[in-house]
Amino acid sequence: MSKYVGVFTMILLLPLVVFGAVFGSKSLLHVQTASTLDPGRLDFRSNVRFYTKVGDFLGSSKPANFQAVNYWDVQGNALLTVGIVKHFDATVMVRGYQDTHQSNENNTPDDIFVDLKTGNLTLKDTRFNFGGIFSMRFPSGDKHNYPFEAYTAGATEFGFMGIFSYYNDPFLPDRDFSLHVNAGWYYHNDAGKVLFQTPTKTFKAGNNASEFQYGLAFSYPTELFNLNLEWWGIAFINKPDSMAFSRENFSYITPSIVFKPRNWIDFNLGVDIRVSTDTDQSARLVRFKQKSGTGGLDLPNYSSWKVTVGTSVTLSRGTQTLSSGYTGKGAVQRRTDFFENLLKEKEKSRKIEDELRRLRKKREQAEKELEELRQLLEEQGK
């Protein structure tokens, strides 16, 4: 009972106490955008992600004293992102809670994540932005290689991600729809790490796992809401050891909504829906712990769904603030460029109109002179 009380406390209080949202700077729930915070801007965020499943008996002869178990997978994260210089920011995330269903069931605290990101880089057409992220995971948690979650073995992990974004409005990108693409490589560095233990034997990873990470997202903003749709997942290049949980490829679709009551705070709600199959490629001993033949618990390696709730608050807006919610020198420059372009276009239009009036006047004068010559020729002919 105390476990459930703790879980609900985390769900209800963490977003309110820490203030937070999602992963990394200027990202959706899972897919990153090719934008960074302006220099001096500071965002503080958190989220709670949860999944639950009732583990019922498998088979036709359920024991009289059998009781179903309600399995939870709850995760709480707190993030701090700061804009360092133009085109560069950094994020530190602490996972404060992670259900593992092992001896340290709540795994509090869990690991620490660091992202170094560059972005807001443009090609000739400013609608296209690109950037990249270098990510690291430091194993400060007590337990790793737990079910329902993406694979980790308790090593210092790292990876690189390329980010590409298309903004339909290049001057005010948050006022129109945008598309985002992620593609990257991630290295688990897990050879020799303990994956699974029995009373008589310890199993360690025999190889270093690596994976291809991908994501595709669409975002449509309105006055008070952002409507987002993401498709994301991984495909292992080198699979983890057979004694690992969650050693299969996975893919999810995530619809989400962001409520923006003020320009300094927003609230997030999203649902991950697994679209990949529920396969199990772990060793029989690991599978036996979950699915024990004619009886036991039927649990997926990855959750079939997961809900994310969170909030985000801007603690510092950088060097300048605009009433529309755009902050920092970069935002000022974007808006300045926008209105300068409008003035240039207006000036071009005015010059074109003046030229048209001049040409029209010349044409009228030429037509008048031509008529006079025609009349003169007619008189001479008589």
Question: Of 12-26, 57-71, 93-107, 135-149, which one has max mean pLDDT?
Answer: 135-149
Question: In the chain, what are the domain boundaries?
Answer: 2-318, 326-382
Q: Tell me how far apart the alpha carbons of residues 59 and 241 are, in angstroms, rounded to a whole number.
A: 30
Query: In this structure, what token pair is assigned to residue 60?
Result: 């036709």
- Express each pLDDT in 279-337 by its tens digit: 888 887 776 555 544 344 556 788 999 999 999 999 988 764 443 334 444 555 566 66
- Express each pLDDT in 234-292 by its tens digit: 999 999 998 888 899 999 999 999 999 988 899 999 999 999 998 888 887 776 555 54
pLDDT of residue 293: 40
Handedness of CA 18, 19, 22, 24 (dihedral sign): negative
Which residues touch 378 (CB under 8 Å, ≥6 apart)?
A: none
Asked if 334 and 171 touch (Cβ cutoff 8 Å), the reply is yes
**Mean of pLDDT over the chain:** 82
Cα diameter, the chain: 128
- Taking residues 147-171, what's their average pLDDT? 92
- Taking residues 89-102, what's their average pLDDT? 89
Bigger pLDDT: 110 vs 354: 110
pLDDT of residue 354: 83
DSSP state letter for 340: H
Angle made by CA atoms 64, 67, 69, in degrees to the nearest 5: 160
- Express each pLDDT in 31-90 by its tens digit: 999 999 989 999 999 899 999 877 655 556 666 665 566 778 899 999 999 999 999 999
pLDDT of residue 56: 59
Q: Tell me how far apart the alpha carbons of residues 59 and 254 are, in angstroms, rounded to a whole number.
A: 34
pLDDT of residue 306: 95
Global pTM value: 0.76
Measured in degrees and rounded to the nearest 5, phi and psi for residue 13 equal -100, -30
The third-level CATH classification (topology) of the domain covering 2-318 is Porin (2.40.160)
DSSP state letter for 243: T
Q: Give whole-number Cα distances, 314 to 38, 42, 81, 86, 147, in Å.
A: 12, 6, 10, 18, 34
Query: In this structure, what token pair is assigned to residue 262?
Result: 């003020």
